[in-house]
Amino acid sequence: MRLLPFDYATRNLGRSPGRLVLAVLGSALVVLLVIASAAFVRGMGSSLSLPEENSNVIFLGAGSEESVERSEVSTRAAEVVATLPSVRTRLGERYVSPEVHIALAIRTEESQVEGRLTPVRGVRPTAYLVHSQVHIVGGRTPTPGADELMVGGLVGGQLGVDASRLALGKTLLIDGRPWSIVGHFRAPHTVMDAEIWMALTDLQVVGQRDDLSCVVVTLDPALGDFTDAEVLAAQRLDLELTAMREVDYYGALARFYAPIRAMVLVTASLIALGGILGGLNTMVAAFAARVREVGTLQVLGYPRRAIILSFVQESVIVAATGALIAGVVGKLLLDGIAVRFSMGAFGLVVDAPVLAIGIAAGIILGIVGALPPTLRCMKLPVGQALRG
């Protein structure tokens, strides 16, 4: 096909720098929005989904399948669960993690306002075996009885405070009582990243309870499967337990939040549509000023397709530039930002697929934005276009 040179498109963009800047920023804004919503959906989704190979089972109090924070499991039940033959064992350690989960109002020392409700998990050392996604990135694990705690990577965002307030050695107040931060951990793309962890017995004291919220065990696929856990729960009615795959537990949560995700997607698409329409308007004006040029090019022998392609090129260059800016800004500013929601927080995830969605949205924006005004422009007979 006989095409217009590529720099015909690029040079035309330089015609009115003001409009060019506006167009680039406009599409950057639209794409940033798409990236933000994709990052939201992806962040929420990944915090509630676990790797396929996860073979953890959560034992919850019967009837508390939906919420670990409402669940009660007796210490005796935990002891029985620990004897399940199919539990994984390594170097003599059994992968059994009795846990207490309570949402507590937490505030920093400097803060005067009432603390924010933050998920706190009381654990034994086996928790670090069972929850292999948790990595200690600074300091150490809290010692029982020493009023110590450890914070996850998203706790700052969850509390709405700067990371410096959560440095090692700093103090957090629970019910007015000071707890010192002795460790930092990360568990990216999981709900744990927004949690505070302390010794199991300490949290039992704080929460004034002597039972547990749940027992999480890792099964050894060579020794048995989830059915064994289910049979145990079914046979031991006296323990009042329910066994759930950890994957299913978070899957149910994810389904619970699906409407929020749908809402975010719908809102984002509406705003993006508005952006496209606004962009269309600018394009119509910009291209209408060039009907005579289109006529001239046709008189010179250029086929319509070549002219359409060149105009679309122009618009895609603009939108893709905007998309690149949005991608960089999104990666730098949005990635990892904590979004609070009822059960803690999750981090926005701006990763390759999200960026790809953003860039794709930019390119679509460019094409969809350019085609209608271009085609409208082309519909005019050449003779009339020249008179225009």
Partner 1 sequence: MSLIECRQLTKKYTRGDNEIIPLDELDLSIEAGAFLALMGPSGSGKTTLLNLIAGIDRPTAGELRVEGTDIARLSRSKLARWRSTHIGYIFQLYHLVPVLTAYENVELPLLIQPISRKERHARVAQALELAGIADRHDHYPRQLSGGQEQRVAIARSLVTDPPILLADEPTGDLDRASSKAILELLLRLNTELGKTLIIVTHDPTTTHYAKETLHLEKGRLVSEAPPALAAEVKSAGDGRGERDA
Partner 2 sequence: MRGLIMFSVLMATFAFAGCTTKDSAPKPGGAAGGVSSGLPDGIMLSSAPADAKPLGEVKKSAKKGDKVTFVARVGGTKHPFVDGRATMIVIDSSLAACDALEDDDCATPWDYCCEPRESKTANSATVQIVGDDGKPLALSLKGQGGIEELVTITVVGVVTEKNDEGLMVVNASGVHVKKG
The contact set with partner 2 (CB under 8 A) reads: 38, 41, 62-63, 65, 227, 230-231, 234-238, 240, 242, 258, 261-262, 265-266, 269
Contact 361, 274 (CB under 8 A): no
Closest approach, Cβ 292 to partner 1, in A, equals 6
Closest approach, Cβ 204 to partner 2, in A, equals 21
Closest approach, Cβ 83 to partner 2, in A, equals 14
Instruction: By CB under 8 A, tell whether 292 contacts partner 1.
Output: yes
Q: Which does 4 bind (CB under 5 to 8 A by kind): partner 1, partner 2, none?
A: partner 1
Residue type at 47 in one-letter notation: S
Closest among 81, 98, 356 to 240, alpha carbons compared: 81
Contact 182, 149 (CB under 8 A): yes
Instruction: By CB under 8 A, tell whether 303 contacts partner 1.
Output: yes
Residue type at 329 in one-letter notation: V
136: three-class secondary structure by DSSP: strand
Residue from 220, 293, 335, 351 binding partner 1 (CB under 8 A)? 293
- Long-range contact set of residues 6-14: C-beta below 8 Å, sequence gap at least 24: 6/313, 8/310, 9/310, 9/311, 9/313, 9/314, 9/317, 10/314, 10/317, 12/314, 13/314, 13/317, 13/318
Closest approach, Cβ 243 to partner 2, in A, equals 9
Tokens encoding 361? 């949205």
Contact 64, 361 (CB under 8 A): no
Query: Residue 358 carries which DSSP code?
Result: H
Interface region with partner 1, contact rule CB under 8 A, candidates 7-15, 69-77, 164-172, 241-249: 7-15
Q: Which does 80 bind (CB under 5 to 8 A by kind): partner 1, partner 2, none?
A: none
Query: Is 243 or 307 the residue whose CB approaches partner 2 more closely?
Result: 243
Instruction: By CB under 8 A, tell whether 308 contacts partner 1.
Output: no
Closest approach, Cβ 379 to partner 2, in A, equals 30
What is d(CA 334, CA 354) in angstroms, rounded to the nearest whole number?
11
Query: How many residues touch partner 1 (CB under 8 A)?
Result: 26
Residue from 256, 257, 302, 341 binding partner 1 (CB under 8 A)? 302
Contact 178, 212 (CB under 8 A): no
Query: Is 135 or 387 the residue whose CB approaches partner 1 more closely?
Result: 387
In terms of Cβ atoms closer than 10 Å to its own Cβ (0-12, 13-18, 19+), residue 212 is buried
Instruction: By CB under 8 A, tell whether 15 contacts partner 1.
Output: yes
Enclosing H/E stretch for 80: helix 75-82
| String of contacts with partner 1 for each residue 367-386, x by CB under 8 A | --------------xxx--x
- Applying CB under 8 A, which residues contact partner 1? 2, 4-5, 8, 11-12, 14-15, 292-293, 295-304, 306, 381-383, 386-387
